[in-house]
Structure 1
Amino acid sequence: KAGQEHQRQQGQLISHYHYDDQQRLHAHAVTQQEHYLYQRQYDYDKAGNLTRLLDTRKGEHHYHYDPLARLTRADHSQGEQ
């Protein structure tokens, strides 16, 4: 889609961005010479709130909201090192 960045190169690093049907960031990966350095995946609820962030370096984060879409809790499980 227009205005959305899908790839950016910074020296030997290349960032790749993928979006869902609602044009929200769904996945982000960084590669160097075709090898993945890390990847992130984002999941959202029907209201558009971020509910899950999976990061291959920093683990998995879950976000919980009240009926007014206010963040009430954030949980984290450490990724494998």
Structure 2
Amino acid sequence: MLRGDRHPARQRGIERVGRPCLAFISSVRIGTVLPEDGGIYGDMPSEFDLPSYNYTVVNDRPTLIDPRLRCAAGVID
């Protein structure tokens, strides 16, 4: 988990970009496969230094996405 309290500039980078939120009935955990349709996946802001990952917002929480597998790789808290 990437914590906003440890990385405030990184948290602001995610908030600044903003994305539509995917809604899941249950909480999203690392490894959860996200839908191919209906979500918008953005490039990670450069301050994260994670160029091979995307992100989206799931249940109002910014979520790190492995684009090759479309699965959650972390939640930015």
The structure that is strand-richer by fraction is 1
Of structures 1 and 2, the one with the larger relative CO (CA 8 A, separation 6+) is 2
TM-score with structure 1 setting the length: 0.22
- The structure with the larger Rg is 1
TM-score with structure 2 setting the length: 0.23
The structure that is helix-richer by fraction is 2
